[in-house]
Amino acid sequence: PRLGLAEAGRRISAGVYRSTVRHLFAPVADLLYADDSVTEVLINGPNQIYCERGGRLEKVDRRFPDEHALLAAARNLAEYDKHHSMDARLPEPEQFRVHVILPPASRVGVCVSIRKFKRADTTLDGLVNDKKSLSAAGAEYLRLMVRSHRNLVVSGGTGSGKTTLLNALSAAIPGHERVVVIEDSSELQLHQEHAVYLEARPASPDGNGAVTIRDLFVDSL
């Protein structure tokens, strides 16, 4: 019974938090929650807001009432009065990653970057047949590389499709294998059910509790 009450409390708390975030970020709520073509929202002070669609940035006619309203929205994400910036990830099911920078480190006012992550629904066949971004021979080569446990490096600029390709590659991993994902900021959502997701984290305000990529790699071994 105690466990049940604790779980109910966590769910209520998460629900209240999500509702508060939606309310405080109302000027961009439809971009975050209703427009699947938007992959990122960039807030440069209360009067300048951009969104990213298809890898291209466009200015949108949105604004916050004033700097205080934007600051209240940012501070709702976490308590960081003693820090110039903050990284956070909104709770399930939104899958948004947020970075905030405060004045005076930011000359234009409070800056907020909200990155959206889509569910892993792209496959190598989809890249060949639907997106036309990969040849059939290339897809087969990548499948063989994954199944033979070869090392692969995927690189590119923001919005170039790195995460999409990695998610598609994951479909080639046999279902009987265990997958450990190590990330600086959690983004990948692989097709495999048996996947363990590990995420690095910075130190707390007192300087303790940091977990590095190296730490997680050692743990995975």
Per-residue CA distances from 100 to 183, 191, 202 (Å)? 20, 31, 15
Question: Cα(54)–Cα(91) distance, rounded to whole angstroms?
Answer: 25
So what's the pLDDT on residue 80?
A: 45
What distance in Å separates the CA atoms of residue 89 and residue 95, rounded to the nearest whole number?
7
Q: Give the Cα separation of 60 and 56 in Å (integer).
A: 13
The pTM assigned to this predicted structure is 0.61
pLDDT of residue 117: 73
Per-residue confidence (pLDDT) for residue 203, from 0 to 100: 79
pLDDT of residue 12: 59
Q: What percent of the residues of the chain are helix, what percent strand, and what percent coil, each to the nearest 5? A: 35, 20, 45
- Which residue from 86, 102, 112, 103 is spatially nearest to 32, judged by alpha carbons? 112
pLDDT tens, per residue, the chain with 221 residues:
455 655 555 565 566 767 888 888 999 999 988 898 998 999 999 999 999 988 888 999 999 999 999 988 888 765 445 567 777 777 655 578 888 888 888 888 889 998 887 666 778 888 888 888 889 999 999 999 999 999 999 998 877 888 888 888 888 888 888 889 998 877 787 877 788 889 888 777 677 888 999 999 999 88
> pLDDT value at position 141?
94
Q: How far apart are the first and last CA of the chain?
A: 37
Q: What is the pLDDT of residue 78?
A: 58
